[in-house]
Structure formats: C-alpha cells, structure tokens
Amino acid sequence: MTQALPVLICGAGIGGAALARALSRVGIPCRLFERAPVLHEVGSGLGVTMNGVRALGHIGLDERVREIGAPIEHAEFSSRTGRSLSRTSMRDVAPGAAESNFVMHRADLHGALLDALPGGIVSTGAEGVGFDEGSEGVILHLKSGLEVHGSMLVGADGLHSAVRRQLHGPEPLRYSGQTCYRGIARMPPVIPGVLREVQGRGRRVGICPLDRERIYWWAAINAPEDSRDDPLQRRARILEDFAGWPFDFPEMVRRTPVDAILRNDLVDRGPRSRWGRDRVTLLGDAAHPMLPNLGQGACTAIEDAVVLARCLAVHAEDRRKGLRAYEREREQRTSAVIRDSWIFGVAARWERAGAVRIRELALRLTPGSLQRRQMRFYMEYDTGPLPVASVR
C-alpha cells in the first residue's frame, strides 16, 4: 500500500530537484515541498565538475548543462602579487575533462532541473517542520498545519535541515574561520576558460568567467563567526580589503551591483555515519554539508540523487532497504570530500608571512601529477546509470 504513496522530498534546492528528476525517470512518484514562497533566481556562480556533469547525464541533463555552462579548461593558483604558483590543464587530469567541467549561474542549473520535472509535483511556501513515522508510511508536517502522507521522506532541506534536526537532535555547525562574499561582475573575461584562485594572508579570491560578458567572483576573509554587516556596505568593505589585488579583481567588484553581493560564513559539519532511519533519510547539504573549497557541495548532492533513485528502484520490494543501501554507498565518499575540503581551507587561512611563503613554496613544488591525481579522485567518480528498464 505504501508503495503507491509518493516519496516526500523536503526542500527543492539543487539536491531535492535532482532527486525528483531522478525518481521521475525511474517511475517512482514523488512530491517536493519548498519553504520559499516562489522559486525565484537565487545564488551566484557554481562550479560543476565532471563528476557532477556525469551524474546529470544519468538524469538526461548533461546537454542542457553544456548549454548553460562556461567550460573550465585550466585551474590556476596565484600569489597575492599575481605570480602563478600552479596551473593544471583539465585535459591532463582525465579523458574528457577538458570538455566536462563548467561554471554556471546556480539559478540556471536549478531552473534546468525544475523545468525537467513533471508538472504539479512542487509545492512552494511549504515549510516542513517535523514528521511522524509509522509502519505504513510517513507524515510530513508543514508549518501551515497541513499533513502530507508519503511512503518515504527525504530531507533535502539544506544546511539547517529540519529533518536532520528531528532525526539527530541539534548539532553545532563547524565554522572554518572565514566568511565569503560572492558576486557576478558585468565585464568580459580577459582569459576565458581559466578558474583562478589567488591566495593572500588570511584572505583569497576566486575568479571564473561565466560567459562573454560576465565574471563570477568570490572573496573569502578571516573573520569572527556570525559577524554582522550592512549588505549595502559589502562592496566598499571588499574594495578596501582587496585594494591592489591582481587580475583586475577590484574592477570586478566595482562592476557588481552593490545590492547583489552575497555573504555566507563558511561552515560545515563533521561527517556522520548514520544519516537516516526506517523510512527517512537525508540528501545533499542536509546529510553532508562541506566547505566549498573543492566546489563539490552541489555536485555531491546531484550524485546522491542519482544513487538514491537507483537504490529505491532496485529495492522495489522494500524501499527501506533502498534507503540504507543508498546511505552505505554515499557515506564514505562524502566523508572524504568533507575532510579534504576542510584540510584545504586550513592553509588558506594562514596569515603570517612565513607561513604564506611555505604555502606558496609547497604549491610550486607539488608535482603536477599529484595535483592531477587528487582532482581525478573527484572527477572520475561515476554513480552508475539508473536501471535501464525503468528509465523514462
């Protein structure tokens, strides 16, 4: 009886929307509940690496991503003075990598996922506040007072997940020591195809062409946790902190609308080995929030979606087994990415001149083969396809 009830997905971000798309491809009914009153354009730029593009391919969206994304051909680290410390050609990382890493607007990816869903399955203004489990299914309680019955519940409700809180109780976030500003500048990129990170003393910037007329940038600065600011003063603050930085960075900031600069403290949670129980599980940031240092948060959420849909399709006789198989399959990889993203961020925070010199030397001396091997670990991962017989 419960098989006929839909899978309930709490949160229609990148991960929730990808899961709904994957489930619809294997013929499993689902419903998405999103707290926001409208699914408007939010976010800034987003890197989607080859593993994320491959996972999107398994849900029939890789071509769309190639249309909306700007290819990344090289990744380069530079010093505060603009000196190149390491440069990696995607071509050398893995076969196909030169054509399969992209930067795009988050809203374009989100829009592509939502456009690919069957009509009528997304409810907006629908905040999940709790759930009840029974032998026959689950009930999701919405803030409005409505109760929705489903066969399973997936918490895809992001960093501050309400589903996770009910499952595991309150857990503190882990602050990295840096806060991050993001924006999109209206100016043509000087060198297309290069994803650049410039590291200074306790601060760094990332620069990525988005298309012929726009550049996505981010700037991370050592700062106390939860420090408040006036959003309209952000541009002035960044211009002051990054005065004289190379690659025309201050000009990018000046060419970004003053009210369109986002800010987030960079936080994660340590890996947890148990994600869900019985008919409930977690996906994406709700399950494994990670620092964005390796650009893998959205990519791993999309991977989760494909693996979860596959496991539920394979375990059609008892989908609770599918949930546990999914958790087992995903826990190890996502824990490794949380760990590596955290480690990367430690050296990026260094402020003392001597420590920064050591970091720069290490970057210059690290063999390219080692850097490429690390990148391959992320990029070559393949979730595997959805079961052929059921793909729609």
Residues near ligand FAD, by CB under 6 A? 10-16, 33-36, 46-47, 127-128, 156-158, 162, 180, 182, 218, 264, 284-286, 292, 295-299, 301
In the block, which residue shows the tokens 């999914």? 326
Q: Which is nearer to ligand FAD, 292 or 322 (CB)?
A: 292
CB of 15 to ligand FAD, least distance (A): 3
CB of 102 to ligand FAD, least distance (A): 10
Instruction: Locate all alpha helices (DSSP H) within the chain, ordered by sequence.
Output: 14-25, 50-58, 62-68, 90-93, 106-115, 162-168, 234-241, 249-254, 297-314, 319-348, 353-365, 368-379
Provide the CB-side half-sphere exposure for 210 (13 A, CA).
22
Q: Which is nearer to ligand FAD, 43 or 387 (CB)?
A: 43
Q: Which is nearer to ligand FAD, 148 or 298 (CB)?
A: 298
Q: Report which of 112, 110, 99, 104 is spatially closest to residue 64, judged by C-alpha positions.
A: 112
Distance separating alpha carbons of residues 85 and 174, to the nearest angstrom: 30
CB of 61 to ligand FAD, least distance (A): 15
Q: What are phi and psi of 90, to 5 degrees?
A: -60, -30
Q: Which is nearer to ligand FAD, 138 or 360 (CB)?
A: 138
Q: Which is nearer to ligand FAD, 279 or 360 (CB)?
A: 279
Residue nearest to ligand FAD (CB): 13
Distance separating alpha carbons of residues 214 and 208, to the nearest angstrom: 9
Q: Which is nearer to ligand FAD, 110 or 310 (CB)?
A: 110
CB of 200 to ligand FAD, least distance (A): 18
CB of 367 to ligand FAD, least distance (A): 26
DSSP conformation class of 189:
-
Q: Which is nearer to ligand FAD, 194 or 355 (CB)?
A: 194
Q: Which is nearer to ligand FAD, 98 or 299 (CB)?
A: 299
CB of 316 to ligand FAD, least distance (A): 25
CB of 267 to ligand FAD, least distance (A): 8
258-261 LR contacts (CB < 8 Å, sep 24+): 258/232, 258/234, 259/231, 259/232, 260/183, 260/184, 261/181, 261/182, 261/183, 261/231, 261/234, 261/235
CB of 205 to ligand FAD, least distance (A): 12
Both tokens of 205, joined, read 């910037």
Strand partners, 115: none
Pairing status of strand 280-282 against strand 194-199: unpaired
- Chain centre distance of CA 289: 9
Query: Do residues 33 and 148 lie in contact, with contact meaning Cβ atoms separated by under 8 Å?
Result: yes
